[in-house]
């Protein structure tokens, strides 16, 4: 699996990763752990989790097993991302939250630690949807200072954000001493994020893609991506699947892609995206697909604020 350099930290990130989010969170732990182990066997090296997902301990167990089985020599061969949940998005909660995450994973460092959302809720539960009455103003500057401290302490090699708009990234860049290495966002042919991609490229912020297949099977996901006619025509003409076209498309946008499958055939299928290309004609057809965001984040909106509308959360990029 090819890798690219993260400008902010000078570390490399594998361009295809394996996601471990599922909803309801923590529903099928054995399957999750077995799938992660199988993914390592197949050659996946980049794994994405979050404090919210309840998959950190399973990922930790799978990593220990993989080392014991000799599938990888050491933890250093893996790239592990986790995320700070909104209830810990307060200056003094960040370091303890990272320590807890590392304990769950049985690791002494992360490769990448992300602010999960530009949202704070009162300290307490890790849950989605969040309780709207618990939403409080998000103090980007002080949360980011704590993230920088995590990197300086060597507890994570890189730091970044997730679900940030251009405007929120601009605010962050204005005060950050360590700029974000990554912005992890929803992206697929039905939500292409052209402006955000251009901005991030200019600023040296790497994009990691979640829901590249439209998050089928989650509470918010739909089959719209995997049922898209245009994508089916392109896939059929190439002898590829729609999923492979989606993953290849994201890859060609120079993003790293997180994909999740608990099915061994599909896990293998999803790796076959590096040795073929989409044509100019394919890309043009994909560019014309009507756009529709899959996960708007309505749960972070409240009449009392801090975000009173989706436009305030996404800064009109929706
Ligand atoms: P499954 O575990 O049965 O393979 P996303 O990455 O956008 O969140 O989508 C994940 C969903 O897409 C999972 O439910 C997964 O189901 C399904 N999926 C993953 N890979 C493929 C594929 N190659 N073809 C069809 N569906 C896939």
The pLDDT tens digits for 148-183 are 999 999 999 999 999 999 999 999 999 999 999 999
The rounded percent of the chain whose pLDDT value lies above 90 is 87
Residues 6+ positions from 298 with CB-CB distance below 8 Å: 310
Instruction: Please write the tens of the pLDDT for every residue from 98-137.
Output: 999 999 999 999 999 999 999 999 999 898 889 999 999 9
Query: Which tens digit of pLDDT belongs to each residue from 30-68?
Result: 789 999 999 999 999 999 999 999 999 999 999 999 999
Q: Which residues pair with 83 in a beta bridge?
A: 114
SS3 104: helix
User: What pLDDT shows up at residue 318?
Assistant: 65
Alpha helices in 86-206 (DSSP H): 91-105, 140-152, 166-175, 194-203
> In terms of Cα–Cα distance, which of 23, 2, 12 is closest to 260?
23
Residue 260 near ligand 1, beta carbon < 6 Å = yes
Which member of 53, 113, 126, 210 is catalytic? 53
**Active site includes 53?**
yes
204 CA to middle of ligand 1, Å? 30
Bridge partners of residue 206, in order along the sequence:
182
Q: Which atom of ligand 1 is nearest to the CA of 21?
A: 8
Cα separation, 288 vs 162, whole angstroms: 26
Integer angstrom CA distances of residue 213 from 183, 192, 245, 268, 300: 18, 12, 10, 15, 23
Mean pLDDT of the chain: 94
Distance between Cα 216 and ligand 1 center (Å): 7
Q: Any binding-site annotation on 116? A: yes
Strand, helix or coil for residue 242: helix
Phi and psi torsions of 35, nearest 5°: -65, -40
Task: Output the pLDDT for position 316.
Answer: 75
Domains of the chain: 3-306 (3.20.20.100)
pLDDT at 145 over 80: yes
Query: Which residue has the CA at smallest separation from atom 6 of ligand 1?
Result: 259
The predicted-structure confidence for 195-216, as pLDDT tens digits, reads as follows 999 999 999 999 999 999 987 7
């Amino acid at each position: 699996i090819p890798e690219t350099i993260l400008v902010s930290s000078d570390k490399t990130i594998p361009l295809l990763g394996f996601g471990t989010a599922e909803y309801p969170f923590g529903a099928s732990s054995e399957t999750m752990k077995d799938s992660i182990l199988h993914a390592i066997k197949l050659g996946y090296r980049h794994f994405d989790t979050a404090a919210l997902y309840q998959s950190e301990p399973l990922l930790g167990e799978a990593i220990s097993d993989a080392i014991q089985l000799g599938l990888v020599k050491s933890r250093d061969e893996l790239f592990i991302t986790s995320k700070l949940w909104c209830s810990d998005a307060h200056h003094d909660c960040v370091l303890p939250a990272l320590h807890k995450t590392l304990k769950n994973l049985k690791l002494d460092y992360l490769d990448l630690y992300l602010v999960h959302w530009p949202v704070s809720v009162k300290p307490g539960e890790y849950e989605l949807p969040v309780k709207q009455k618990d939403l409080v103003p998000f103090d980007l500057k002080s949360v980011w200072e704590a993230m920088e401290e995590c990197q300086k302490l060597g507890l994570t090699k890189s730091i970044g954000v997730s679900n940030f708009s251009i405007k929120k990234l601009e605010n962050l860049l204005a005060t950050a001493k360590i700029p974000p290495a990554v912005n992890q966002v929803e992206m697929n042919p039905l939500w292409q994020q052209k402006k955000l991609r251009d901005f991030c490229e200019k600023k040296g912020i790497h994009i990691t893609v979640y829901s590249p297949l439209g998050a089928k099977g989650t509470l918010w996901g739909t089959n719209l991506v995997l049922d898209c006619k245009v994508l089916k025509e392109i896939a059929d003409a190439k002898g590829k699947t729609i999923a492979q076209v989606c993953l290849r498309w994201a890859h060609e946008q120079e993003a790293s892609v997180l994909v999740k499958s608990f099915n061994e055939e599909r896990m293998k299928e999803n790796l076959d995206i590096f040795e073929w290309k989409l044509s100019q004609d394919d890309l043009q057809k994909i560019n014309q697909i009507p756009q529709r965001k899959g996960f708007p984040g309505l749960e972070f909106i409240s009449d009392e604020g801090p975000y009173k509308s989706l436009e305030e959360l996404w800064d009109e990029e929706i």
